[in-house]
């Protein structure tokens, strides 16, 4: 299959590109490099001995997306491109609605113009908002409490309307929980530009003494140790879920299954921020200094998944452990900074 990955140079996109290449798919990446690095292409080639096609362009540029689809005879699209920091979305909501919502509309227009109607969308568990119950399944009420989560929900609604208007579309929404970890090679991982917004890359930078300490945003939540609990999933397990989603699309085309479906992608297990820090320290033998700071707007106490629907229908299940997440993250950081 010829697969276009929008935002494919980023953390999740690059790991999915690697997996698809190793599975024999032809991969094309479209990315504006706003939060990724061109060196990812070299590392993908080092790992796979294959260099994917690359177009430096913004998904908001509909004509560039159309050109990529046509030039590389694309059969399916995995849509990663977008901005994703909860705190920033509260401060700058227009950025999130423009990049995420308008960017998806631009992509859909390009796909429709090229008559390509197979799509896997990178959604988020933030669409659920404050949990009404745990673990969260796909029937949980949708009530996002920050602009980032709202942008993902709006996109899901748009995609539902598209699927209902045209039965030829095949769409899978993957609601991610909290991706962490890196590829076993240590050559690709979570390496954001600027100050990290996610926990593990920030811990990595503290571990390598690039930053003096980790900020823990609140220790007064109603959890076992007062810090927020999340469902952390290894990025390679998340990549496996995208491959499973492509297989689902093929089955949908052949077996008249629903032409749009949504799946939680998580482990079903929640760990607190303090538990992650302690595991990272124990596994990697490194002390992580931290400071307690005020809660961030839009954050919640606990969030973890019920992934049974994905297990049943996509035949997918997370396999990697917390130890894998912590050890692979530090391996990537050492490799990136050439540390012993």
Is the distance from CB of 207 to CB of 40 less than 8 angstroms? no
Selection from 213, 263, 238 nearest residue 324 by Cα: 238
Selection from 121, 130, 38, 119 nearest residue 86 by Cα: 130
Q: Which residues contact 281 (CB under 8 A, 6 or more apart)?
A: 287, 288
Catalytic residue among 11, 96, 128, 148: 148
Distances (CA, A) of 21 to 48, 226, 292: 7, 42, 42
Gap between the Cα atoms of 22 and 16, Å rounded: 10
Instruction: For Cα atoms 298, 203, 47, give the angle at the middle one, nearest 5 degrees.
Output: 110
Main-chain dihedrals φ then ψ at residue 11, nearest 5 degrees: -60, -60
Residue 218 Rama label (left phi>0; alpha psi -120 to 50; beta):
left
Gap between the Cα atoms of 162 and 157, Å rounded: 9
Gap between the Cα atoms of 43 and 189, Å rounded: 10
Whether 304 is catalytic:
no
Q: Which residues contact 133 (CB under 8 A, 6 or more apart)?
A: 140
Is the distance from CB of 144 to CB of 196 less than 8 angstroms? no
Is the distance from CB of 189 to CB of 336 less than 8 angstroms? yes
Instruction: For Cα atoms 233, 236, 238, give the angle at the middle one, nearest 5 degrees.
Output: 55
Number of C-alpha atoms within 13 angstroms, CB side, residue 139?
2
Report the catalytic residues.
148
């Amino acid at each position: 299959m010829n697969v276009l990955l929008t935002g494919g140079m980023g953390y999740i996109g690059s790991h999915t590109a690697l997996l698809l290449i190793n599975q024999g798919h032809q991969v094309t990446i479209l990315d504006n490099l706003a939060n990724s690095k061109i060196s990812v292409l070299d590392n993908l080639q080092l790992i796979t001995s294959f260099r994917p096609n690359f177009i430096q362009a913004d998904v908001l540029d509909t004509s560039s997306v159309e050109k990529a689809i046509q030039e590389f005879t694309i059969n399916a699209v995995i849509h990663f491109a977008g901005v994703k920091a909860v705190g920033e979305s509260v401060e700058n909501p227009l950025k999130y609605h423009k990049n995420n919502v308008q960017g998806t509309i631009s992509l859909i227009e390009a796909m429709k113009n090229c008559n390509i109607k197979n799509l896997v969308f990178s959604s988020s568990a933030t669409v659920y908002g404050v949990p009404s119950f745990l673990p969260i399944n796909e029937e949980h009420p949708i009530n996002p409490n920050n602009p980032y989560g709202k942008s993902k929900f709006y996109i899901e609604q748009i995609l539902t309307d598209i699927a209902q208007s045209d039965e030829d579309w095949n769409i899978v929404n993957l609601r991610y929980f909290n991706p962490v970890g890196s590829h076993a090679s240590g050559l690709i991982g979570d390496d954001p530009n600027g100050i990290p917004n996610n926990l593990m890359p920030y811990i990595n930078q503290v571990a390598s003494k690039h930053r003096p300490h980790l900020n823990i945003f609140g220790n007064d939540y109603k959890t076992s140790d007062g810090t927020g609990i999340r469902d952390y999933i290894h990025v390679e397990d998340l990549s496996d879920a995208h491959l499973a989603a492509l297989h689902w699309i093929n089955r949908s085309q052949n077996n008249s299954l629903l032409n749009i479906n949504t799946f939680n992608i998580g482990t079903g297990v929640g760990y607190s921020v303090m538990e992650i820090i302690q595991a990272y320290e124990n596994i990697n033998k490194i002390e992580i200094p931290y400071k307690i700071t005020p809660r961030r707007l839009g954050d919640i106490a606990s969030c973890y998944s019920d992934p049974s629907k994905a297990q049943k229908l996509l035949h997918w299940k997370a396999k990697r452990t917390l130890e894998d997440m912590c050890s692979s993250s530090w391996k990537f950081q050492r490799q990136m900074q050439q540390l012993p």
